[in-house]
Amino acid sequence: MRTMKIFLTEFDAYGTTFAGPNIIAETFEKADEAAAKNGLIVVGELDSIYVDTNDNTHGNVIPLKDKRTIH
């Protein structure tokens, strides 16, 4: 069984940074390659989402050590 991870992306357009689509891949390297082919930057890996007793949603993201842009 393969373990897939959810990688979060962003992209720049019109002088603004926007959240991009999530990439589901086995490794950062595969996600980074897919992001580069689509003009995106991988900014982190989604670790978990939990809802507290007040129904507030919290996302835990494992940040990357550095932002990389691959062209």
Q: Is residue 70 included in any domain, yes or no?
A: no
Domain assignment of residue 59, yes or no: yes
* Least reliable range by pLDDT among 20-24, 52-56, 65-69: 65-69
**pLDDT of 24-53, one tens digit each?**
999 999 999 999 999 999 999 987 766 666
The DSSP annotation for 41-63 comes to: EEEEEEEEEEE-TT--EEEEEEE
Q: What is the mean pLDDT of the chain?
A: 82
Looking at the domain assignment, is residue 38 inside a domain?
A: yes
pTM: 0.68
Report yes or no on 57 lying in a domain: yes
Whether residue 69 is contained in a domain is answered as no
Asked whether the predicted pLDDT for residue 54 surpasses 90, the reply is no
Distance CA 12, CA 31 (A): 18
Per the structure, the complete domain to which residue 42 belongs is given by 5-63
- The verdict on residue 17 lying in a domain is yes
Count of domains for the chain: 1
